[in-house]
A and B are shown apart, each in its own frame.
Chain A
């Protein structure tokens, strides 16, 4: 499945409260490839995910899946969120079975698949446990299984490994890379972490400050399978990393002199104190 955004904009609020989060944003998520979106935090990456998932509609522009416009959420697109969104009142097994059971498809075959998926993500022994008894990494794996059982054409992941400790995060990355290499599924992965992005991506979308657009598209043609530990010693990976970091750095600096509200307030306060001297310096 391929996803295409054409001149998509999203504005929240109306009148003076209006906030343009996404402006004239176009890109393409190619079928069967791993597309990673990277950008400074708080620039509207999650908004783009909400639009592709169908939770929200764009204010302008069009989003299509295999040529058809998106109108609502569907099992062909599964989202894994930043923090755990497991159903707290269901056991791990019930969580994983939820999708098929909600659609009335809890067949013996699907039950077997749920068991197999749980074993595959290493949670076979925890199927009767509730989410609060699982560790952070286990919760993420349970969520991956809950999404994968719906056999989505595209997996949409919104910083899924944020908040995990460094070791668990590396394990999860290696693990998820292997998992998606097996299936050849389309992946759309959002992150703020450059190492993570380069490790996973076939294509990298570097985003601008808010209102967000694509700043650059970078092809990551590092050989697969990759190992997270090897990345640090790979010259091409490091060159890519420098490119991405400098792009991101530019975007963050832009926000500091113009975009964000906090920066504006900060500058206003200084302007009152320093007068025109500061304005001269800024305009240079």
Chain B
């Protein structure tokens, strides 16, 4: 097809086309503007931190609080050295394995548990009161008991992480099932669907969005729990690098390496962000009917 022909065809729609192009350009500029603002915000934050931390040198007088911090430049230098060390990455791995294990166990136990309570009023009546009794106990309050209950320290940590993730997952599964439109089940019944088909194609799907929300909440909690548990449990048999990121921070503190504390903190923030982002990406794949456009 010739270029003129296509231009002729496009002519009636030109005004609309120009409008939509304007809209995209507008969107692009606001997008880059918000990105620019974010960069400015990071820069100002780093500058204040740097100036405050080094105030004793350039001001001749230490600024309160901020001057106790290692400056970002020192943190970056330390980080630069650490990324070349196996021990640092081993801490990452240890924490990820723990979080992954406890979280997976919570999903594997919590989702069927929540679904079972949603499907059977009787089971719910019997089990839910105990669930509600135990739920307010913070996972970290379980640490000493967990150490006594479980044969290895590793299992105790996994158990505490499991608890942190379990409650929100169960509650969200249950909430999703309660919010389900009863008429959908009636429609399916009047079409002759079996109980199993109704569960698999309707109840399970209806519960999926809130289940994924529960998982997102849970993964954040597991990172809080793992750090605290690792600070309590210590490095274990493999020394300073075997205790995960939580212990990494703790041992940096004990060893007096302040830049390393900050590196540890940022690392955990990153780890939490990454697992949450991965989960959300996964969620979007499982919930195509909630996408903004088809």
CB-CB < 8 A to A90: which residues of B? 289
Known: A88-B289, A130-B288. A73 touches B184 (CB 8 A): no
Contact B184 A85 (CB under 8 A): yes
Could you give, for residues 190-204 of chain B, a 1 whenever the CB lies within 8 Å of some chain A CB and a 0 otherwise? 111110010001100
Choose from B191, B206, B288, B290 the contact partner of A75 (Cβ within 8 Å): B191
Question: Considering only CB atoms and an 8 Å cut-off, how many residues of chain B contact the other chain?
Answer: 24
Could you give, for residues 255-294 of chain B, a 1 whenever the CB lies within 8 Å of some chain A CB and a 0 otherwise? 0000000000000000000000000000000011110011
Q: How far is the CA of A133 from the CA of B293 in the complex (A)?
A: 8
Contact B184 A128 (CB under 8 A): no
Contact A75 B192 (CB under 8 A): yes
A74 within 8 A of B: yes
Contact B194 A102 (CB under 8 A): yes
B181 within 8 A of A: yes
Least distance between B190 CB and chain A CB atoms (Å): 4
Choose from B183, B191, B288, B293 the contact partner of A98 (Cβ within 8 Å): B191
Could you give, for residues 47-69 of chain A, a 1 whenever the CB lies within 8 Å of some chain B CB and a 0 otherwise? 00000011100000000000000
Choose from B192, B202, B288, B293 the contact partner of A74 (Cβ within 8 Å): B192
Contact A98 B188 (CB under 8 A): yes
Majority SS of interface residues in chain A?
loop
* Residue of A79, A102, A103, A131 with highest tally of chain B CB at under 10 A: A102
Least distance between A159 CB and chain B CB atoms (Å): 13
Q: How far is the CA of A129 from the CA of B184 in the complex (A)?
A: 19
Q: How far is the CA of A53 from the CA of B184 in the complex (A)?
A: 14
B186 within 8 A of A: yes
Interface size class of A (residues with CB under 8 A): 20 to 34
Choose from B183, B190, B288, B289 the contact partner of A78 (Cβ within 8 Å): B190
Residue of B nearest to A149 (CB): B191
Known: A128-B294, A129-B294. A102 touches B289 (CB 8 A): no
Choose from A53, A85, A102, A133 the contact partner of B294 (Cβ within 8 Å): A133
Known: A130-B288, A130-B289, A132-B289. A85 touches B187 (CB 8 A): yes
Known: A88-B289, A102-B201, A133-B294. A53 touches B186 (CB 8 A): yes
Q: How far is the CA of A133 from the CA of B294 in the complex (A)?
A: 8
Known: A81-B183, A88-B289, A102-B201. A130 touches B294 (CB 8 A): yes
Q: How far is the CA of A73 from the CA of B191 in the complex (A)?
A: 8
Q: How far is the CA of A77 from the CA of B186 in the complex (A)?
A: 12
Contact B187 A79 (CB under 8 A): yes
Report how many A-B pairs have Cβ atoms within 8 Å.
69
CB-CB < 8 A to A132: which residues of B? 289-290
A211 within 8 A of B: no
Within 8 A of B (CB), among A69-92: 72-75, 77-79, 81, 85, 87-90
Could you give, for residues 97-135 of chain A, a 1 whenever the CB lies within 8 Å of some chain B CB and a 0 otherwise? 011001100000000000000000000000011111100
Q: How far is the CA of A87 from the CA of B293 in the complex (A)?
A: 17
B90 within 8 A of A: no
B124 within 8 A of A: no
Contact B184 A79 (CB under 8 A): no
CB-CB < 8 A to B205: which residues of A? 87, 89
CB-CB < 8 A to A72: which residues of B? 189
A180 within 8 A of B: no
CB-CB < 8 A to B290: which residues of A? 132
Contact A55 B289 (CB under 8 A): no
Contact B294 A73 (CB under 8 A): no
CB-CB < 8 A to B189: which residues of A? 55, 72-73
Contact B184 A87 (CB under 8 A): yes
A150 within 8 A of B: yes
Contact A103 B183 (CB under 8 A): no
Contact B289 A89 (CB under 8 A): yes
Contact A85 B197 (CB under 8 A): no
Could you give, for residues 177-191 of chain A, a 1 whenever the CB lies within 8 Å of some chain B CB and a 0 otherwise? 000000000000000
CB-CB < 8 A to A55: which residues of B? 186, 189-190
Q: How far is the CA of A122 from the CA of B190 in the complex (A)?
A: 25
9 residue pairs from A and B, CB less than 8 Å apart: A73-B186, A74-B192, A75-B192, A79-B187, A88-B289, A89-B206, A99-B192, A102-B192, A130-B288
Residues on B lying within 8 angstroms of A by beta carbon are 181, 183-184, 186-194, 197, 201-202, 205-206, 208, 287-290, 293-294
In the A-B complex, the 3 residue pairs with the smallest Cβ-Cβ separation, listed nearest first, are A102-B193, A99-B191, A73-B190
Q: A55-B186, A90-B289 are in contact. List 5 more A-B contacts (CB 8 A).
A: A54-B190, A73-B186, A85-B184, A85-B187, A87-B201
